[in-house]
Amino acid sequence: MPIITLVTEIHAPIERCFDLCRDLELHTRTVAHTREKLVGTKTSGFAELGDVLTFEAVHLGVRQRLTSRITEFERPVLFADEAVSGVFQCLLHRHTFTAVGNKTLMRDRLEWVAPLGVLGKVVDRLVLRRYMLRFLVIRNRNLKAFLESESIFGG
């Protein structure tokens, strides 16, 4: 099972980072390059424990749907979402937050099992791992920019 861990340092309070990372509208703005949108019953507000969220986006040139459930939640240090349907056999994304002085360390741990058995493993090695890392890096860069620019104004 491939695992990506990415740590992003954000100059904003932990509570703000935690809450805005769960903001569904902000999430879609931070991954606009995939034309991601929420298409399920919950399309705005904040992700909460037990929520089932359905996203539609274009990944690797293909429009896809992924439905996930928020399975862990401990404000302001942890939440996790786990795929319940979509292309992956398994997909788990844990978001953890640690306050360090006046900064927050946001850690993403993303693990998955690609579809298609042996062929999926080959695609993982050749394309998917790099694609998933790039997706997280872009999302976190955009989220960090928003959080840091807004925190300057006390937002």
What tens-digit pLDDT sequence spans the chain (155 residues)? Answer: 899 999 999 999 999 999 999 999 999 999 999 999 999 899 999 999 999 999 999 998 999 999 999 999 999 999 999 999 998 889 999 999 999 999 999 999 999 998 877 877 887 888 889 999 999 999 999 999 999 986 443 44
| Secondary element (H or E) of residue 139 | helix 129-152
CATH 3.30.1360.170 applies to domain 3-152: no
Q: C-alpha distances in angstroms, 20 versus 34, 51, 102, 118, 153?
A: 20, 16, 17, 38, 15
For the chain, helix, strand, coil in percent to 5 are 35, 40, 25
Q: What's the predicted TM-score (pTM) here? A: 0.90
**Ranges of H-type helices in 56-116:** none
**Ranges of H-type helices in 1-128:** 14-21, 24-30, 117-123
CB atoms under 10 Å from CB of 155, counted, come to 11
